[in-house]
Amino acid sequence: MTDSNGRLDGKVAVITGGAGGIGRAAAKRFVAEGANVLLVDLNEDALAEAAAEIGSNRVSFCTADVTSSADNARMMEIASERYGGVDILLANAGIEGDVTPIVDYDEDRFDQVMNVNVKGVFLGLKHAIPAIAKRGGGSIVITSSVAGINGSPGVAPYVTSKHAVIGLMKSAAQEAAAAGVRVNTVNPSPVETVMMRRLEAGLDPSNAEGVREAMRTRIPLGRYAEADDIAKVMLFLSSDDADFVTGSVFTADGGMTAG
């Protein structure tokens, strides 16, 4: 990690999916740049571990379900009580679902993917926009994916959800601009996270390493992203360096979608 430049001094960030790889990496970056951070996830033990790993008195956590409107309101209230308000939301919580053809996909599982990945973002926007507007404006960054730009067989609900949040972002960017709230998506290629290990195994349980190698060869830079690669883009979009950037899709994919 580079030395801090204080790009988020005095800012308060709420990070959903805060116990996961990208959430943790973003929290480390944000704290290093001067922000107070509230990590949000379902698993309290994983949140406590993430907070201990970051090791700062400017990070705390709360358990919450992003598919619950009451929980989204509560996380904004907790951030305001602990830190005085909210300036940044990283709407980062998400699940991959199953690796199954559309004709065989379980309907309840489809609903779960859409609830977490789309409704969760919608509710985050619903409650974060007014909270951030109270502070005079700020930034919302939504984690989408290269799957939000291209299709992929076997993971149609996930692909659908990541396309959907781009539409949410574009609408929210227009609605919230007058309040000084910027909204953008970050669209990563495969990242070195537990989620990708599950996807690789789901695509070919007998040869997950072969799946990994095939994906890697589709990335011109020749590797998966590290979580910190994505966190650095999130930091830019959350900082005042991006104060004229809203309504945009930021691919962080090593050139994967360039062809």
Helix (H) or strand (E) holding 61: strand 59-63
DSSP label of 184:
E
Residue type, 33: E
> Does an H or E element contain 188, and which?
strand 181-188
Characterize the bridge pairing of strands 249-252 and 181-188. Answer: parallel
Q: Does residue 135 sit in helix, strand or coil?
A: coil
What share of residues in the chain are helix, strand, coil (percent, to 5)?
Answer: 50, 15, 35
* Range list of H helices, 104-226: 107-114, 120-133, 156-176, 194-203, 208-217
13 close to 33: Cβ distance less than 8 angstroms: no
The DSSP bridge partners found for residue 41 are 63
CB 58 within 8 Å of CB 87: no
Phi, psi of 105 (to 5 degrees): -70, 135
Cβ 101 vs Cβ 153: under 8 Å: yes
- Catalytic-residue membership of 158: yes
Given the residues 83, 105, 158, 224, select the one marked as catalytic.
Answer: 158
- Residues involved in catalysis: 158
